[in-house]
Chains A and B, each alone.
Chain A
Amino acid sequence: MRAVRHKLIWAVLLASVLTATTQLWRVYAIHRENLWLSQLQQGHEISIEKVMAAAPEIRLARAVYLHNKQRFSEALDTLSLIVEQGDREFQAKSRYNLGNIYLSQALAELEAERINQAMPLLMLAKQAFRQALRLDSGFWDAKYNLELAMRLLPEFDRISQSQPDDDAVKPSQLWTTVPGFPRGLP
């Protein structure tokens, strides 16, 4: 019994030293990943190899970097890997950023007067913003950008049978949605 207890004490000592070492390594890794985050936020790219094994936050930061550099498809690819990861707050952020990429692309298409290309992008943007708001209803930036996307691509269903929507009185023969914002308004 004493021998078992003695071995147990040694085992506890070894386990605690091993745990401390592992956690110290994790602290170092977090410190390193925070440096990468800072680099990406300052507009410096980091190699894809570093991103591969890093925390999802690094991928999110890299997607922001790629979006800022107008590398939309790469940003979408990066975000598509992490939309299901992390807690609710993180998922709300990744979905919001996904919506922002679609919205930026749609704005670029509208600027080039390619309305047909912009419409599906706006729909995807709205969907992503809605998902972000379902995860965090207090996400102000998502509210703002969703409203922007909905102004660009309004939806014309009636609110209720007895109370017609303002927009619903407008005739719409071919499209249930009309792209673009009426820019002539004040």
Chain B
Amino acid sequence: MSGQKITIEYNDRVVRQFLLATVIWGAVGMLVGVLIAAQLNFWQLNFATPWLTFGRLRPLHTNAVIFAFVGNMMFAGIYYSTQRLVKARLASDFLSSLHFWGWQFIIVCAAVTLPLGLTRGKEYAELIWPINLMVVLIWVVFAVNFFWTLARRREPALYVAIWFYISTIVTIAMLYIVNHLSIPTSLLHSYPVFSGVQDALVQWWYGHNAVAFFLTTPILGIMYYFLPKAAERPVYSYRLSVVHFWSLVFVYIWAGPHHLLNTALPGWLQNLGMTFSLMLWAPSWGGMLNGLLTLRGAWHKLRTDPVLKFYAAAVTFYGMATFEGPLLSIKSVNALAHYTDWIIGHVHAGTLGWNGFMAAGLIYWLLPRLWNKPLYSTALANLHFWIGTVGILLYVAAMWTSGITQGLMLNATTEHGTVLAYPNFLDTLNTIRPMMLMRVIGGGLYLAGWFLLVYNFYRTVKGAAPVNGTIEVYDEAPAPDAKLSLAGTFFSAPTLFWFLAVGFSSMWMFGTDLVSTAGIVGAVACLIAAFALVPSRSQAWGGWYEKLLLNALPFTLLVFFAVVAGGLIQIIPTVLVQKAKNVEDRIQTPYTPLELAGRDIYIREGCYLCHSQMIRTLVPDILRYGDYSRLGESIYDHPFQWGSKRTGPDLARVGVKYPNVWHFRHMENPRAVSPGSNMPTYPWLFSHALDASVMPAKIKVQRLLGVPYGPRTAQQIFDSMDEQAKGIAKDLRTAGAYVDSDKEIVALISYLQTLGKSLPVITKSAPR
């Protein structure tokens, strides 16, 4: 070792900034969560105000806790640990600052636009297109800053935490861009390029993997750094790290369709989604094992150290949620649980337990180190832990009970299975009311715990001088050894076996007879060869992997190939298949301009957050809502509105089920026609005039996207809207409901009355 000894000062300023943002946005996001949970119990809490209504605040809650709370926490953890793991200061102070302020600006934009009803109408992808562009830009800034830092590292090998960070950066970029492809109709509005089943598939490929690569992999990376640090124990198993990392990033991507089980999604995708979700159990538990078993020899410290308490509980909740996930992905379990509170409970076990507790542990551990002052109160931190834990348990137990109860009631039949035992949806809703109240209490406790953290944070840093970490290193170029060329990366036994196994398996899965047979033979041969070679070659393969760890770019490329496979195989066939053929036996009638305008109101108000438009291929769904939904019936829906939760009933076939005046009275005051309903009132729809001027631009984009609208002038569009609206207003008038035909409610009613309208298609072809 030659070279001069120098001292590096880490950029901990940006870490402190992100940490502070985590604390603040965490409080905001959880507060909104408690509010909307309370709104479900007391509809009056919607205050008959557009921007305080559940449908607009729920996206604010999800976006705030995912992207603002966990996002900032992730950046703090990644920047703190990466600098130390690679022994280099963050590459650029400017990029670090831009990353921080850019991300906060995005959050503020989101917090303003979402309550205003500016949304893309896709869950966790609601932000409008100008904000999408900013997110992409800032993510690139993050990526450049991170990889540039890696390029300047003084530590040649990449530690397992860094693997997880790399997979996060690469995969989120891919998912985010594909799911946000849209064509603007104005500065604030756009239509997604995908529609119907394609949009559903892309959405849940994104949605599921946002959970995977935004809420899981970066936090696992953080676990691999901060947990052994806090426990002062070695990581349990490097080998387990390797196996569970690669299996996790490969398998996760395939599991997205489990959000669409028993729907109109083609069966092969449902089967892939279910089986890969089951395969995900072991890789997820690999992370849990490595976390919990690292605590071996340190369990006694849990008694006194709140940080370790949080970590141990977080990892346990991670294990619980990742066992529950595969369980819920089994089609028959899903038939009961999907659209119910069980899913809400599952998600919150992950977010409150895993993400929230990891964040708390991270913050309590970092505070003394970043401000060079002991934590203000360990007792308060311990209290936070206990209040938080009780809060989660109440929340999750309430949601399990609620979801299973409602699922059983909705699916129950009577009279030899020929009719529903509880035909009135509201009976099932009002049965779970006590559990919904329990959820507010549990969430409130969790929030109270968070406020303890806020106070502790404030008291700790008040008057404390921020301090930046330093390290002494030898100023020298990294050892030139062990460069792995691209050929050496890809033409190595482990990589080749991987590619061949995936290739052969795909041939077997999708090929025609001969290709399929070749595929199964190839896959089995691969398997036998790999196992036969393990005893003699495992050392060499291990050596190759260690060499790979010295090479960031080849490593990143391999990660990209691992995550891209599942997406390509699922999405490309679905997107390429001709729309006209992808309809089963029915095809949707395109919306009239007024109906389309009404649909955009439906999306603006977030109706899809409580109402699905997807009657599953399940008897109870069919008995309750009508014939099961066909692919063709949503083929022109940009975006799709299949929904993911039924706080209210499904609306796929609600069109013409009730007279116009029913919807009029219902939107005015849901309880006037549905006693016991918890739906908000929508008085503004009756006073706001519909903005028809935007419709020509919207229809133009719809045509561009392939919706069969004939050419028509703006005037023709306005005339058609006017005529249809007047007809509805007249019908309402005869039923005793008086409203001007230009009001938003008229457009919304026109949309609701068209739901389920479709034409039969003679040529039946089921695409694979």
Co-complex (A, B) = no
Interface residues of A (CB under 8 A from B): none
